[in-house]
Amino acid sequence: MAIILSNYVIPEKGKVNIDFNVSFEIKCTAIQAKRTVNNWLLNEISYLIGADPPTLILQEKPAWRVPVWLTLPGTKHKEIIGYVDVDVATGQIIDPANSQVKIEQYLHQDDGLTTTTDKSFIRELPPDYLTNLTPPPQIINR
């Protein structure tokens, strides 16, 4: 398991000595954190987004940092679009509103790759393919 030390300033070059003592209890496992984020993404954002296994982040409040990916139907390509932090002690998402805003900003950015103004690929369906949605005639029994 990888551990990331957050908010530690180190020099660009030269000897680095990091001495710290951190004590905390992990009540929420990495698998539980990933599951929590997957459920949140599905319910709050989109079914095309999922979570990968997290990394432990040692910061003021230790957390699981869960990568969030986007995939499009018919492709195996996954693109990391953000991260969601989950508290290791409570299993709750840390600042879900901010995480949602960041993910939605990424999804709405217009980079020219995900959206197209050319709609020439859309065509009308032939009449044979259209469904008749009129209700069937009522049969009256006397």
In a domain, 36, yes or no: yes
Could you give the number of structural domains in the chain?
1
Going residue by residue through the chain, which has 142 residues, state the pLDDT in tens, using 9 for 90 and above: 667 777 777 888 988 887 778 889 999 999 999 999 999 999 998 888 899 999 999 888 899 999 999 877 776 667 888 999 999 999 999 999 999 999 888 878 755 444 445 555 555 656 666 666 677 777 777 6
What's residue 132's pLDDT? 65
In a domain, 35, yes or no: yes
Categorise residue 84: left if φ over 0, alpha if ψ from -120 to 50, beta otherwise: beta
Q: Which residues contact residue 116 at a Cβ distance below 8 angstroms, ignoring those fewer than 6 apart?
A: none
Residue ranges in 22-132 assigned as alpha helix (H): 30-44, 96-108
Q: Other C-beta atoms within 10 Å of 67: how many?
A: 18
What's residue 33's pLDDT? 96
Task: Calculate the CA 26 to chain-centre distance.
Answer: 23
In a domain, 116, yes or no: no
What one-letter code names the amino acid at 6?
Answer: S
In a domain, 64, yes or no: yes
Separation between Cα atoms, residue 101 and residue 111, nearest integer Å: 18
In a domain, 15, yes or no: no
Separation between Cα atoms, residue 30 and residue 55, nearest integer Å: 8
Beta pairing, strands 3-5 & 55-58? parallel
Q: Which residues pair with 33 in a beta bridge?
A: none
In a domain, 130, yes or no: no
Identify the domain containing residue 82 by its residue range: 26-108
What's residue 131's pLDDT? 63
